[in-house]
Chain A
Amino acid sequence: MSTPGAPYIEVRGLARHFDVSKPLLNRVIEGQPRLILKAVDGIDFAIRKGETLSLVGESGCGKSTVARLIVGLYKPTRGQILFEGTDMGSLATRAEERALRKRFQMIFQDPYASLNPRWRVADIVAEPIRAHRLSSDPTEIRRRVDELLRQVGLSPADGEKFPHEFSGGQRQRISIARALSSNPEFLVCDEPTSALDVSVQAQILNLMKDLQRELGLTYLFISHNLAVVFHISDRVGVMYLGRLVELADARALFENPQHPYTRMLLDAIPDLDMTGRARTPVAGEVPNPLDPPKGCAFNPRCPFANDRCRTERPELRPVANGGVAACHAVEEGRLAAAPRLAPA
């Protein structure tokens, strides 16, 4: 079924809108219109096999929604998700969809909500193995669970406990072990390490890279920690208000960011060296996703905005760092290159 040469995962014009209106009656009484929140509003990207693509961007820009769309937890409002060239929306039967989906797993942003509190850890970790009928031999399952718990820095004895007996970071390790248990090819990781201390984080990131090298895993990675993103990614997509504004190779993006928003984001990285450099927070008000600015959504906060920016929406175009960016000023050559010295 797969198309040779097609990217591993591709999304085309992907969109997801949420209706956040008050109930009909209230709306009629208060005379309010329907409120539609465009959490993801038409994005395109592709991930090659064995590659890590990261999504970054302000809280609320739609990263988790993209993740949930890809693993099938939300249905797209528009657009397609292609897996090895096959449109996920075109699959005729549940069985076909299941066969594809078992090759995906997701690590959720919130380790509290995603673990069933009434199950023992060993059962939680074994759940994907059982759900996808990968094994029914209890000894074999147990051996696999023990191995996974060890891999994520827990001990086999922890399998007997319940989630509430663990700290936040330990719970996140349980959800990582669960995600790995069915030997997925493709992992969607939504903030997988933000609940972990830096030493466990280093272990998990090293483990993820080792698994990628050994098994050719493909990752979609979401994180607010730009240093982590720099370390783990092959390519990075920057989202703003439901759309991609820049996409490039990780190094190129960090060394030579093009879009004004990307530049601001990189300037806001906290300074660990305590040189006294005050970080420059991204200026301006966070935009209202219920009423996004016309033209370029970034224009109210952008120092380079002009009339065109306020009326015409920029599309992604090839830019100097080898990637693509959606910005009129970059396209018109109005922006001086602002090469960044990546602090080593």
Chain B
Amino acid sequence: MAEAPILEVKNLRVEFPTRRGTLVAVDDISFSIAPGEVLGVVGESGAGKSMTGAAVIGLIEPPGRIAGGSISLAGRRIDDLPYEEMRKVRGREIGAIFQDPLTSLNPLYTIGRQITETILTHLPVSPAEAQQRAIGLLREVGIPAAEKRIDHYPHQFSGGMRQRVVIALALAANPKLIIADEPTTALDVSIQAQIIALIKKLCCEHGAAVMLVTHDMGVIAETADRVAVMYAGRIAEIGPVRDVIKAARHPYTDGLMASIPKVGRTDARLAQIDGAMPRLNAIPRGCAFNPRCTKAFDRCRAERPEPMRVGNSDVACWLYDAGQGGTR
């Protein structure tokens, strides 16, 4: 990577102390995102995708905590900032789109008021300009009759429209880094295309970096430059989007790709990876995927694989250990 990354995460670890012992939700992960780059993050639900995003924006809810590693934004460490300072960084430099649109919207205020306030807090504009910008943003995310709907309350919008309002809110201050946690999950394909175009535009025009968490491989295929696949708190595979989608290397990624329904395919059942991801308090020894992996061998049950360079990707799987003479 020629340019210095906007976001650099090194050996991040997120823990939840509980009565039953410490749960490790994010276990020693590292990645970076360059200016203008979209990193897609996919993986099993519960794998730690949202937690990674929450760590970056400094919003892990106690008792959860960052227990190790570092997070830097444009070269400056942000994981150890005091709360007030982090709050400023969050609105101005990092825009966050959460998985749950309701937590980001205050039910008591009109959406217009919420967006204008964000703009006024972070940008040097007049209230009238803020109002204009708010209407413009709502239009950009595809809210019809934006100038009227700006006076409505969150509960008066459909699920997908609320999500678009949240997106408008996140983009309000032109952030450097956008953390988008399933921003298009509740949206239909056409609005999805619009939102993705909008995110891409921000990326290109403002050189913003985007971390895009989604379950939708179609969205990943179209939007992401690189993809990280997470499983049980770790990155199983990270690499260029084409390599990950078209030539998955990690057996988990492979299973994931196979289970996607496709228009025109009429199999009665979808291919599925049997079993479930392990509980965080019962991660198996060795590779966390080994109980479900059809390719597992002895070493997988004893030693934990670290990311290994395979082509342009990093893959945490013993099949690719040079000494092992794997099956690539």
Contact = CB atoms under 8 A, between A and B. Distances in A.
Is the A/B pair a real complex? yes
Interface of A: 18, 20, 22, 35, 56-60, 64, 109-110, 112-113, 153-155, 157-158, 164, 166-170, 172-173, 191, 194-203, 205-206, 209, 224-228, 230-231, 251, 254, 264-266, 268-272, 274, 279, 281-282, 285-291, 341-344
A160 to B, nearest CB: 10
Contact of A153 (B50, B144, B276): B276
A168 B100 contact: yes
Given A109-B159, A279-B222, A270 B148 contact: no
B260 interface: yes
Given A110-B159, A271-B221, A290-B145, A59 B215 contact: no
22 contacts: A20-B152, A20-B156, A35-B148, A59-B160, A112-B102, A168-B50, A169-B215, A197-B47, A199-B44, A209-B268, A226-B263, A227-B260, A270-B192, A270-B193, A270-B216, A270-B221, A270-B222, A272-B218, A274-B246, A289-B144, A344-B262, A344-B264
A197 B42 contact: yes
Contacts of A279: 189, 193, 222
Interface stretch (B28-36, B115-123, B129-137, B180-188): B180-188
Contacts of B261: 202, 205, 225, 227-228, 230-231
Given A58-B190, A60-B160, A272-B218, A197 B45 contact: yes
Contacts of A197: 42-45, 47, 215, 256
Interface in B44-80: 44-47, 49-50, 61
Contact of B46 (A164, A170, A342): A170
A254 B264 contact: yes
B142 interface: yes
A238 to B, nearest CB: 11
Nearest to B281: A157
Contacts of A230: 261-264
Contacts of A109: 159, 186
Given A64-B158, A197-B43, A199-B255, A59 B270 contact: no
Contacts of B222: 270-271, 279
Given A168-B182, A343-B262, A343-B263, A274 B245 contact: yes
A224 B215 CA distance: 13
A168 B99 contact: yes
B303 interface: no
B279 interface: yes
Contacts of B160: 59-60, 224
A176 B264 CA distance: 27
B264 A343 contact: yes
Nearest to B156: A20
Contacts of A199: 44, 255-256, 259, 272-273
Nearest to A278: B222
A264 B246 CA distance: 27
B177 to A, nearest CB: 21
Contact of A226 (B152, B185, B189): B189
A50 to B, nearest CB: 15
Given A198-B259, A209-B268, A281 B193 contact: yes
Given A59-B159, A167-B50, A344-B262, 7 more contacts: A59-B188, A59-B191, A60-B157, A172-B45, A196-B215, A270-B216, A285-B144
Interface string B96-129: 0001101100000000000000000000000000
A35 B151 CA distance: 13
A127 to B, nearest CB: 21
| Residue in A225, A268, A270 whose Cβ sees the most chain B Cβ within 10 Å | A270
